[in-house]
Amino acid sequence: MDRERGWTARATRVTLLCGIAVLGGLLLSGCGFNGHQSTLAPLGPVAERQKQVFMVTVWVTLGIFATVGSFLLYCILKFYHKGEITPDTPLPEQGHGDALTEIALILVSVALVGVIAVPTLKGIFYMWTVPKNENVLTIHVYAHQWWWEFEYPKQDLETANEFAIPAGRPVKFILTSRDVIHSFWLPRLGGKMDVIPGQTNVFWLQADPRAEGRLNHTTWRVEDGGVLYGQCAEFCGESHAFMLFRALVLNSHDFHDWMKHEKAAAVISPQVKAGYKVFMANRCSICHTIRGGNAYGEVGPDLTHVGSRLLVGGLTNTPAHLREWLSDPNAVKPGDLMWKAGYKAFKIHLTHKDVDNLASFLTSLK
């Protein structure tokens, strides 16, 4: 009977262990070392530095784990009571600590905290100290629920949800929020940095030349790598998960071309005039700017070159996604202002044809 119970207990334990192993395996299968948002595959000096700090922490904690684990294992094996335990079995010899060991352990712990703290603090100051270099490019970052506004103050240019940077040049980011607290995170270059209303935070990032892509001068999109994935990393409301952005890494020549193209006004071709009419008739221009069109709104993203962008409404910018976004913004990005302050407030109802025309018009704004 007892033996049977022992078997059941052992079977339960084995099942539990297998369950944990399978679950752990499943969780780990979600991890990658080379993904679009992997901090373990840095593409710039700040991310490289942050990875080093992370690895120091990993090695120190692994060392602690191995040491404590070995002692535990040693004790389990050495002091394991062989044979049956009855109420009369005497307790093993009890120890009550050893002052010298305890002091030594405290000192070792403090030393290990120091080993982690020194590179961490140095890393933090490294990220805060923008290189004193005439080459530094400045970008203002304004976070909104739930999109990113990027401004190049010297070049007098504004973009939304994506910005280009030249490889090998330090970029100074000056961050502030228009509403709640967000967090700017571009994992392969570095971060995160909190984006706080009423406060400006400054740090710098730089992309290695190996992160560079090529600018397609027809679609004005970046190809062959060169697109780095960014994400808001602080829960900022119901559509926080859709608060994405992209950094385009280019060589200085392509960067110059990109800048020139972005600064140019939109070209509204006669074929998409119907869509432009839908845009104006539904008062989209109250919130959006289209340079070269009759739209000067400053609440939402600048749409002058929206057709060349990689994202729209937190989705990949394809004609199908664009139509989805335009027909029901609240379904795509719940709680979005375009729905709350636009569609709902103005009672905007777009027909299928309106949506098609509007999407064609916006897509044409390369």
Residues that bind ligand CUA (CB under 6 A): 143, 146, 182, 232, 234-236, 240, 243
Closest distance of CB 231 from ligand CUA, Å: 8
Q: What is the number of alpha carbons within 13 Å of residue 142 lying toward its C-beta?
A: 16
* Pairwise CA distance, residues 76 & 149, whole Å: 59
Q: What is the DSSP string of 256-297?
A: HHHHHHHHSPP---GGGHHHHHHHHHTTGGGT-EEETBEEE-
Taking the least distance from each CB to ligand CUA, the nearer of 175 and 303 is 175
* Pairwise CA distance, residues 120 & 113, whole Å: 10
Closest distance of CB 211 from ligand CUA, Å: 24
Closest distance of CB 237 from ligand CUA, Å: 7
Taking the least distance from each CB to ligand CUA, the nearer of 143 and 207 is 143
Taking the least distance from each CB to ligand CUA, the nearer of 49 and 192 is 192
Closest distance of CB 151 from ligand CUA, Å: 18
* Pairwise CA distance, residues 191 & 244, whole Å: 14
Bond prior to 147 in cis (omega within 30° of 0): no
- Burial track 196-210 (b if 16+ CB lie within 10 A, e otherwise): beeeebebbbbbbee
- By DSSP bridging, strand 244-250 and strand 162-166 are parallel
Helical axes 99-128 vs 45-78, angle rounded to 10°: 160
Taking the least distance from each CB to ligand CUA, the nearer of 244 and 272 is 244
Taking the least distance from each CB to ligand CUA, the nearer of 166 and 314 is 314
Closest distance of CB 321 from ligand CUA, Å: 20
| SS3 of the chain: helix, strand, coil, percent, to 5 | 45, 20, 35
Closest distance of CB 236 from ligand CUA, Å: 3
* Pairwise CA distance, residues 36 & 168, whole Å: 20
Closest distance of CB 148 from ligand CUA, Å: 9
Taking the least distance from each CB to ligand CUA, the nearer of 236 and 290 is 236
Using only the alpha carbons of the chain, give its radius of gyration. 28
Please give the distance of CA 28 from its chain centroid, rounded to a whole number.
20
Taking the least distance from each CB to ligand CUA, the nearer of 49 and 144 is 144
